[in-house]
A and B are shown apart, each in its own frame.
Chain A
Amino acid sequence: MGSLFRSETMCLAQLFLQSGTAYECLSALGEKGLVQFRDLNQNVSSFQRKFVGEVKRCEELERILAYLVQEITRADIPLPEGDASPPAPPLKQVLEMQEQLQKLEVELREVTKNKEKLRKNLLELIEYTHMLRVTRTFVKRNVEFEPTYEEFPALENDSLLDYSSMQRLGAKLGFVSGLISQGKVEAFEKMLWRVCKGYTILTYAELDEPLEDPETGEVIKWYVFLISFWGEQIGYKVKKICDCYHCHIYPYPNTAEERREIQEGLNTRIQDLYTVLHKTEDYLRQVLCKAAESVYSRVIQVKKMKAIYHMLNMCSFDVTNKCLIAEVWCPEADLHALRCALEEGSRESGATIPSFMNIIPTKETPPTLIRTNKFTEGFQNIVDAYGVGSYREVNPALFTIVTFPFLFAVMFGDFGHGFVMFLFALLLVLNENHPRLSQSQEIMRMFFNGRYILLLMGLFSVYTGLIYNDCFSKSVNLFGSGWNVSAMYGAAHAPSERKKMVLWNDSVVRHNRVLQLDPSIPGVFRGPYPLGIDPIWNLATNRLTFLNSFKMKMSVILGIIHMTFGVILGIFNHLHFRKKFNIYLVSIPELLFMLCIFGHLIFMIVYKWLLYSAETSRVAPSILIEFINMFLFPTSETNGLYPGQEHVQRLLLVVTALSVPVLFLGKPLFLLWLHNGRSCFGVSRSGYTLVRKDSEEEVSLLGSQDIEEGNHQMEDGCREVTCEEFNFGEILMTQVIHSIEYCLGCISNTASYLRLWALSLAHAHSEKLAPSEEDDGEEETDS
């Protein structure tokens, strides 16, 4: 199929849905998820569409369901979640369902309202008892702290007052008592003092236990206060202020007798209320439990129903109003399934005339559909994060399956760690059906979704780890090192050869801290290690220098290959879209530009690896200098890598320099030439948009259909293909921007690929320093 290489071929289909069966048909289509609808009513605002009433009804149902769910969760009843998703309800059931839900809502609201009322009542009574309890101590205390009352002349004679004797002094002494929330006490006191100018006495005490606010349901700390005041005017103001601060005011009993009576009355009422409240709550729970059973599937059903009506709103009516016309994008492979779904939908609703479809040709670019499975999904997601390719473009996800884990592994090369990672991913893969995994937390879910990526990354890391010969940052000596230390001692060699060589003897070994193995001495280096890097490097002090040079060069080589591969993929696109000129005018100059500079660099690297051996390594030129000299044309003669290098480099530079103007101007000028020369040369099929083989036929077909369907077609504006105006400036601009980006990108990306080396270094280094920091390194490379 190659469906991952290119996106699926799509076709535009027109569905003719009998208005009686449209709902069922769409439901059947929706269950299968086959098509993408196009909005045929773009010019119609959302409230003028055909099925607004139905959508509104769905919203009403959603509102009720949301209310139910809210009440259910508040009552701490577990919501059962069915696994299967129920299909959209048949139209006949909708009314029934609506009725049921509405009845349930009314009942629930009634019961909750009653419950709230009872609860509020209860809370108030509790507050009242608290207030009575606390204020009793106030009066006593007032008596003890005599001075407050001394200011009132009437009280002077009779200083030891209890409450009843104060009563005699006249009705003007009034009391207001109640509760106020903790935060407002201070402001309340201040305002009271300012307004009443000291004609009041405020006593307050904190309640030990926090109580629920009957209005908001919040549990807060309260203060009980008692205000004693003189005069009616002041009393009026005091009450106002109490209102302002939302105090809960309760009548203050005048005598001890009265207080006791009230207290008793309250106690019995509280008892009664408790029992009633319990009964109500039990009933409410029953109702909610019953509702909870079906609420989950109802929510899904209503959502589906709403979605169907949204889709129906995108359809247009035909002239006779008997038929709904929908335009959909459908993959060609699924057309059969689409027909089946339509038939099924019509059969279910028992319609006399079946709904049918026909395919209509179009010049518009269809949407991109790339089918994925659980393995490719993760990779496709990575690619989509950068951008979704247009229709039938080469999909890079296919190659990402290899390149992404490989490039990661180049940085993470350690087969111990790689193996651990592989095992972790394998664990995820083997248990992928476990429900806990797919519903886990954010980070875990990230790992879970990328489990196949992790798996491959682990595998590739094992491979690169073997190449780097790194296992938990230690080398493993599997095949025996290719270096032989004993050959460095004189005894191993024939006396005639000894003179030429710098050999080790006891004094050398004793006095030098660092010794060097010389590969040019026969027997010291016995050929390369069979796989990867020789484990002896692990002991060497110049290990880092050696690995750096190796990894740096490797990164550049990998990077250039990777980028060249990208350009080559572009050629596939041009071939597929029949734009050969793009190959000559864009892809080839691009390739030339890259290969003449960086290809040559790679060539030099490989050439140097091959040409110079241990004996000649001292005369090997530096590649860096050679590469720089390629641009600088030094006057002094250098000994290059190979004879005639200078001329080859000159030639390459000329090619590079020539490819740049081609890249900048080639395509725009060619298009201009095509545009101007079209009439004389008769190049009629050079369309810039996707043109199929039989496009002309189709276009004419499209035209005739337009005429047939007359006014109807004229109405939907979206059908009109926006034909591309030829705008030379714009094309030139795009191409110039593209070219600049490419040329700069070549250089900066090559530098960026050095990151492979840098991170690999960081990984190896951090392991060495502190094994505990391993995770950080992993995260870093991950990102």
Chain B
Amino acid sequence: MLEGAELYFNVDHGYLEGLVRGCKAGLLTERDYVNLVQCETLEDLKIHLQTTDYGNFLANQTNPLTVSKIDTEMRKKLCSEFEYFRNHSLEPLSTFFTYMTCSYMIDNVILLMNGALQKKSVKEILVKCHPLGRFTEMEAVNIAETPSDLFNAVLIETPLAPFFQDCMSENILDELNIELLRNKLYKSYLEAFYKFCKNHGDVTAEIMCPILEFEADRRAFIITLNSFGTELSKEERETLFPTCGKLHPEGLRLLAQAEDFEQMKRVAEHYGVYKPLFEAVGDGSGGKTLEDVFYEHEVQMNVLAFNRQFHYGVFYAYTKLKEQEMRNIVWIAECISQRHRTKINNYIPIL
């Protein structure tokens, strides 16, 4: 696309941008969270959610209410909104939407393969799959025994196909290999998405690139953290890191050598963005976990995305914010239903 999206962005995408901004205004506010935290039962939660933009999305649920019912209904709502956006979108926004769904598709594929490994029935796992990442071929995933099988038989016609270039192998799919597959897929997915946004240029690139860079770096940190004490070799670890982040290339090389959390923290200290994040992490007892800190940073970036106009980032940001909100509600609902109120305030407020 040419420079100067301001001139003709609205011709194609103005309606959807207006819509997504309206939807964003419906996100729960601080006050709502304060009220939600005070709820005694899930019924109370439901009543309070009825006064927000969720409306009576739980009205047709028969008693008793469970957390998973709330979760499913919320996901359905998000999904219907997303489908609406997607059905009304034009190129290249529709490609952007496809890229957005890819991450959920990867998760679903991996979930199904794990399920097959544990000999669970497909139907059981299908319920757990994220509705945004649903595709027809998905259910046939467990036919495949090796990644190349998977690619050739099942995924060749899905949007996931291009991400398979790096992970064609004849390895048997065991738990470790599946995890490796996930990370490799994710790596090439993020890189492709990053490239797409970069090529698109304009405000979209200015907004989306930092978000995706952060996403890539977050994955690198998390992979490193999770690989401590496993049989994953350092060279292999490095191949899993997405290379489109700020850490690339020196930071990633250092991360690959890291052996414990302290070393990881030292790597992060070289970067102005990540230093404060790691400093915010509490030690062991109490304080925030690294995950929460990352989530908070993500929320902040997504909220800031709404300050600019004429770009696709708002759609990404909205979906992510909504997901965070759903995580918050589920967290609060879980705390309520398990009568575990001490940690109920550990949700991540959306500014």
Residues of A in contact with B (beta carbons under 8 Å apart):
45-48, 52, 56, 59, 63, 184, 187, 190-191, 194-195, 237, 240-241, 243-245
Contact (A63, B59) CB under 8 Å given A45-B48, A47-B44, A241-B143: yes
> Is A45 in contact with B60, judged by CB distance below 8 angstroms?
no
> Is B156 in contact with A194, judged by CB distance below 8 angstroms?
yes
- Residue B35 CB within 8 A of the other chain: yes
Q: By CB atoms of chain B within 10 A, which of A45, A240, A241, A245 has the most?
A: A45
> Is B139 in contact with A243, judged by CB distance below 8 angstroms?
yes
* Residue among A47, A56, A63, A195 making CB contact with B153, cutoff 8 Å: A195
By beta carbon, the residue of chain B nearest A242 is B140
By beta carbon, the residue of chain A nearest B142 is A240
Interface residues of B in 148-185 (CB under 8 A from A): 152-154, 156-157
A63 to B47 Cα, complex, angstroms: 14
* Residue among B35, B47, B153 making CB contact with A191, cutoff 8 Å: B153
Q: Distance (Å) between the CB of B104 and the closest chain A CB?
A: 18
Interface residues of B in 30-54 (CB under 8 A from A): 35, 38-39, 43-44, 47-48, 50-51
Contact (A63, B60) CB under 8 Å given A191-B154, A194-B152, A195-B143: yes
Q: What 4 A-B pairs have minimum CB-CB distances, sorted nearest first?
A: A244-B140, A244-B139, A47-B44, A47-B47
A-chain residues with CB within 8 Å of residue B323 when the two chains form the complex = none
- Residue B136 CB within 8 A of the other chain: yes
Contact (A190, B157) CB under 8 Å given A47-B39, A184-B136, A245-B136: yes
- Residue B137 CB within 8 A of the other chain: yes
A-chain residues with CB within 8 Å of residue B152 when the two chains form the complex = 194
A109 to B49 Cα, complex, angstroms: 28
> Is B122 in contact with A243, judged by CB distance below 8 angstroms?
yes
Knowing that A195-B154, A244-B137 are A-B contacts, what are 16 other residue pairs whose CB atoms are under 8 Å apart, sorted by A's residue number?
A45-B38, A45-B48, A46-B48, A46-B51, A47-B39, A47-B43, A47-B48, A48-B38, A56-B47, A184-B136, A187-B136, A191-B154, A240-B142, A243-B122, A243-B139, A245-B136
Q: Distance (Å) between the CB of A106 and the closest chain B CB?
A: 11
By beta carbon, the residue of chain A nearest B39 is A47
B-chain residues with CB within 8 Å of residue A59 when the two chains form the complex = 59
Contact (A191, B44) CB under 8 Å given A45-B38, A47-B39: no
Q: Distance (Å) between the CB of A12 and the closest chain B CB?
A: 27
Task: Mark contacts of B107-150 with chain A using CB atoms, 8 A cut-off: 1 yes-contact digit, 0 otherwise.
Answer: 00000000000000010000000000000111110110000000
Q: Can you offer 26 A-B residue contacts whose CB atoms are under 8 A?
A: A45-B35, A45-B38, A45-B48, A46-B48, A46-B51, A48-B38, A52-B47, A63-B59, A184-B136, A187-B137, A187-B157, A191-B153, A194-B152, A195-B140, A195-B154, A240-B143, A241-B140, A241-B143, A243-B122, A243-B139, A243-B140, A244-B136, A244-B138, A244-B139, A244-B140, A245-B136
B-chain residues with CB within 8 Å of residue A48 when the two chains form the complex = 38
Q: Distance (Å) between the CB of B284 and the closest chain A CB?
A: 36
A245 to B154 Cα, complex, angstroms: 12
B-chain residues with CB within 8 Å of residue A240 when the two chains form the complex = 140, 142-143
A-chain residues with CB within 8 Å of residue B59 when the two chains form the complex = 59, 63
Q: Distance (Å) between the CB of B144 and the closest chain A CB?
A: 9
Interface residues of B in 1-57 (CB under 8 A from A): 35, 38-39, 43-44, 47-48, 50-51
B-chain residues with CB within 8 Å of residue A184 when the two chains form the complex = 136
Q: Distance (Å) between the CB of B119 and the closest chain A CB?
A: 14
A45 to B154 Cα, complex, angstroms: 51
A53 to B47 Cα, complex, angstroms: 11
Q: Distance (Å) between the CB of A53 and the closest chain B CB?
A: 10
A59 to B50 Cα, complex, angstroms: 12
* Residue among B136, B139, B143 making CB contact with A237, cutoff 8 Å: B143
A-chain residues with CB within 8 Å of residue B143 when the two chains form the complex = 195, 237, 240-241
By beta carbon, the residue of chain B nearest A62 is B59
A-chain residues with CB within 8 Å of residue B51 when the two chains form the complex = 46
A-chain residues with CB within 8 Å of residue B35 when the two chains form the complex = 45, 47
Q: Distance (Å) between the CB of B97 and the closest chain A CB?
A: 21
By beta carbon, the residue of chain B nearest A183 is B136
B-chain residues with CB within 8 Å of residue A63 when the two chains form the complex = 59-60
B-chain residues with CB within 8 Å of residue A52 when the two chains form the complex = 47
A187 to B39 Cα, complex, angstroms: 49
> Is A194 in contact with B47, judged by CB distance below 8 angstroms?
no
Contact (A194, B153) CB under 8 Å given A56-B47, A63-B60: yes
Q: Distance (Å) between the CB of B257 and the closest chain A CB?
A: 42
A-chain residues with CB within 8 Å of residue B136 when the two chains form the complex = 184, 187, 244-245
B-chain residues with CB within 8 Å of residue A47 when the two chains form the complex = 35, 39, 43-44, 47-48
Q: Distance (Å) between the CB of A46 and the closest chain B CB?
A: 5
A48 to B39 Cα, complex, angstroms: 9
B-chain residues with CB within 8 Å of residue A241 when the two chains form the complex = 140, 143
By beta carbon, the residue of chain A nearest B63 is A60
Q: Distance (Å) between the CB of B30 and the closest chain A CB?
A: 14
Interface residues of B in 46-80 (CB under 8 A from A): 47-48, 50-51, 59-60
> Is B140 in contact with A191, judged by CB distance below 8 angstroms?
yes
A184 to B48 Cα, complex, angstroms: 43
A240 to B39 Cα, complex, angstroms: 45
A243 to B123 Cα, complex, angstroms: 10
B-chain residues with CB within 8 Å of residue A191 when the two chains form the complex = 137, 140, 153-154
By beta carbon, the residue of chain A nearest B62 is A63
A59 to B152 Cα, complex, angstroms: 52
Q: By CB atoms of chain A within 10 A, which of B44, B47, B48, B50 has the most?
A: B47
A237 to B116 Cα, complex, angstroms: 14
Q: By CB atoms of chain B within 10 A, which of A46, A47, A187, A240 has the most?
A: A47
